[in-house]
Amino acid sequence: MNGRISRKTLEELRLRASIVDVVSEYVELRRAGSSLRGLCPFHREKTPSFFVSSEKGVFHCFGCGAGGDFISFVMQYKKVDYREAVEELCERTGVEVIYEGGGGEADVLKRLFDVNRFGADYYHKVLFQKGNPARTYLKKRGIEEDTARSLTIGYGGGGRRGLAREIKVEGLDVEAAIECGLLFQRRNGEVVDRFSGRLIFPIFTTAGKIAGFAGRSLDDSEPKYINSSESRIYKKKNLLYGLNFSGKFVREEGRVYVVEGYMDWIIMWQAGIKNVVATCGTAMTSNHFRALKKVTDKVILLFDGDMAGRKAAVRSMEPAYEAGISPLVFFPPKKRDPDDWIREVGVESVKDALGGAKLLMEYIIDAAAKKFDLNSISQRLDYLKLVGKYLKNVRDPVEKEMFVQEIAAKLNLTADDIRKWTAKQEGDVIAAPGIDSAEKALKIKPEEAMVGFLLKHPRCAAREDVKMAISAIEDTELAEIASKLTNEPDESGTILESSINREGEKLASKLSKAVLLYEQFFPEEKEGDLEKILGFIALRRKEDELARIISAFKEEGDRAKREEMLRLQMKLKKDIEETRKNL
């Protein structure tokens, strides 16, 4: 996509996404004073030195120095660029990305959607022409005419060039149709239909626009299904078939069934189970789960009962938990798919049986137990390793504890044994929250305190005593930020945001460090405490000065003078502590 992401999009995103929500998806955070802390996802550690300020919207790791705001967190965590991070966050929070400049992005997208709509209507019209094999096929599969109409099902019956011709006649954008994957260009330059001879299912966005298509062969010849190729509007990892139709039913029922096939979706929908979505020929991704989470937390994977379906369900575990969903699972008996199952036993029996869906993790614990001989010690260990791998994904402590007890029961061990074992495997024994030695060793530099203060209290920037304090800042980058903050009080957080995102990681790290150190050192401070803080800063400065002098004396070997300076330093340190206590 060309063009810049608009200011308005970023503002909207900032309203909807909070740093705590974004970071919590990957890091377990606990309160620590006015900040939150957890184990750093960017370096290995056992004692949490990763801090988040919900008030200023930044994070900082005192271990490895990683720092920034919620956008830079996603950039660093997912190793994507700024633009991709913003796009992903917008998608997650349901903010529409508006681009500006770069030549009419909206127009380009509109051309793609338009050509898809035209293709869908064209193929739909062909479906209802007399005597074509697709209608016979639909009848055979039990798909009613009304259903075919409401889903705009189509048939690629106009020969190899049917749609290509129509698109040209209509004066539509052939390039757009190629980009959408409706048409493709052969090596000899000839442009032909991609879905000719196939039954065609348009795939809608939640807003009801057509993002792409799936085409099924009528005679089961391979490939049974082909899909639109990935394009600017068709992204498999984000799209769920049928969500545009079923969204309101999902809300009503408070749960959603996820099936693997278009046919499964259609048959369930027709049978009156309307809270259903299907994946578009791909594994479930965390984006899929996030899209579902907007409508419900209760997701039931209703995958095929064969080995492939079971494996696909198990593979959904990680993305589901990544999106904060603890999925349930149900497999139709006798290796059937949902479509066959409904036909064979009827919708009422299916509805009854679905009540027996269990948590995916529970399924894994049970199914794995059957795979191993739990009387053999080595197989017991293998079992534990396998379920431990999945258990790692479960973040909710209560839920995790219940699974731990299940696993313990299977192995005839105590829950405590399992807890110890998993803690060791995961290698992250989380220390109790509170000040630890690493943190005590931290010092806030005067300039960091100053910048932290200015960011917290932008209106104070105009005061003479503040300007004086700023003029003494030595670090050039922080001095520059501080002078920006003095000229233009950063009440909306714009300076912080643009400095973090536009000036490189080093400055992002410095700024986030200043904010989080400030919160740690002055947890309860108010604007009125300015004098005390300025006093503290002055003291810290003197202390730094002393430290320099002391080391100089050390080299000179002048013991008496050095001791005198040390005494002065002790006194200053006491003063500093007093000042802090009084804040």
Q: Residue 429 CB, nearest distance to Zn ion (Å)?
A: 17
27 binds Zn ion (CB under 5 A): no
Q: Residue 49 CB, nearest distance to Zn ion (Å)?
A: 6
Task: Describe the chain by its helix, strand, coil percentages, rounded to 5.
Answer: 55, 10, 35
- Closer to Zn ion by Cβ: residue 47 or 569: 47
Q: Which among 211, 205, 179, 209 has a CA at the least distance from the CA of 194?
A: 179
**Following DSSP, what letter does each residue of 83-139 receive, concatenated?**
HHHHHHHHHHHTPPP-EESSS-HHHHHHHHHHHHHHHHHHHHHHHTSSS-HHHHHHH
Burial class (CB in 10 A: 0-12, 13-18, 19+), 475: middle
Part in contact with Zn ion (CB under 5 A); list of ranges 34-42, 286-294, 440-448, 449-457: 34-42
Among 4, 8, 31, 43, binds Zn ion (CB under 5 A): 43
Q: Which among 393, 391, 420, 396 has a CA at the least distance from the CA of 406?
A: 391
64 binds Zn ion (CB under 5 A): yes
Distance of CA 143 to the CA centre of its chain: 37
- Closer to Zn ion by Cβ: residue 14 or 60: 60
Parallel, antiparallel or unpaired: strands 299-302 and 328-330: parallel
Q: Provide the b/e sequence for 19-34 (b: ≥16 CB within 10 Å).
A: beebbbbebbbeebbb
Site string for Zn ion, 182-211 (x = CB under 5 A): ------------------------------
256 binds Zn ion (CB under 5 A): no
Q: Which amino acid is at 246?
A: S
63 binds Zn ion (CB under 5 A): yes
- Closer to Zn ion by Cβ: residue 65 or 104: 65
- Asked whether the bond before 223 is cis by omega within 30 degrees of 0, the reply is yes
Please work out the total of residues on this chain that contact Zn ion, with binding judged by CB under 5 A.
Answer: 6
Part in contact with Zn ion (CB under 5 A); list of ranges 39-47, 71-79, 343-351, 498-506: 39-47
Q: Residue 23 CB, nearest distance to Zn ion (Å)?
A: 13
Q: Which among 233, 277, 283, 273 has a CA at the least distance from the CA of 253?
A: 273
Cα distance between residue 366 and residue 505, in whole Å: 47
Q: What is the dihedral of CA 264, 265, 269, 272, to 10 degrees?
A: 50
Cα distance between residue 247 and residue 277, in whole Å: 9
- Closer to Zn ion by Cβ: residue 60 or 255: 60
Among 16, 20, 34, 42, binds Zn ion (CB under 5 A): 42
Helix, strand or coil for residue 408? helix
- Closer to Zn ion by Cβ: residue 64 or 408: 64
Cα distance between residue 353 and residue 356, in whole Å: 6
Q: Residue 38 CB, nearest distance to Zn ion (Å)?
A: 10
Sign of the CA dihedral with 383 first, then 388, 393, and 399 last: positive
Q: Residue 41 CB, nearest distance to Zn ion (Å)?
A: 8
Q: Residue 42 CB, nearest distance to Zn ion (Å)?
A: 4
Do 455 and 485 form a contact (C-beta atoms < 8 A)? yes
41 binds Zn ion (CB under 5 A): no
Among 19, 22, 29, 40, binds Zn ion (CB under 5 A): 40
Q: Residue 66 CB, nearest distance to Zn ion (Å)?
A: 5
Q: Residue 141 CB, nearest distance to Zn ion (Å)?
A: 55
Cα distance between residue 460 and residue 155, in whole Å: 69
Q: Residue 175 CB, nearest distance to Zn ion (Å)?
A: 47
Q: Residue 25 CB, nearest distance to Zn ion (Å)?
A: 17
- Closer to Zn ion by Cβ: residue 42 or 77: 42
- Closer to Zn ion by Cβ: residue 61 or 361: 61
- Closer to Zn ion by Cβ: residue 50 or 453: 50
Tokens of 185: 């260009």
- Closer to Zn ion by Cβ: residue 33 or 63: 63
Part in contact with Zn ion (CB under 5 A); list of ranges 43-51, 391-399, 527-535, 565-573: 43-51
Q: Which among 169, 170, 239, 226 has a CA at the least distance from the CA of 199?
A: 226
508 binds Zn ion (CB under 5 A): no
Task: Name residues contacting Zn ion, limited to 310-329 (CB under 5 A).
Answer: none
Q: What is the dihedral of CA 347, 349, 350, 355, to 10 degrees?
A: 130
Q: Residue 19 CB, nearest distance to Zn ion (Å)?
A: 16
Alpha helices in 395-524 (DSSP H): 397-411, 415-426, 437-440, 446-456, 464-471, 476-487, 494-502, 505-521
Part in contact with Zn ion (CB under 5 A); list of ranges 41-49, 138-146, 510-518, 563-571: 41-49
61 binds Zn ion (CB under 5 A): yes
- Closer to Zn ion by Cβ: residue 64 or 386: 64
Q: Residue 299 CB, nearest distance to Zn ion (Å)?
A: 32
- Closer to Zn ion by Cβ: residue 63 or 388: 63
Residues in contact with Zn ion by CB under 5 A are: 40, 42-43, 61, 63-64
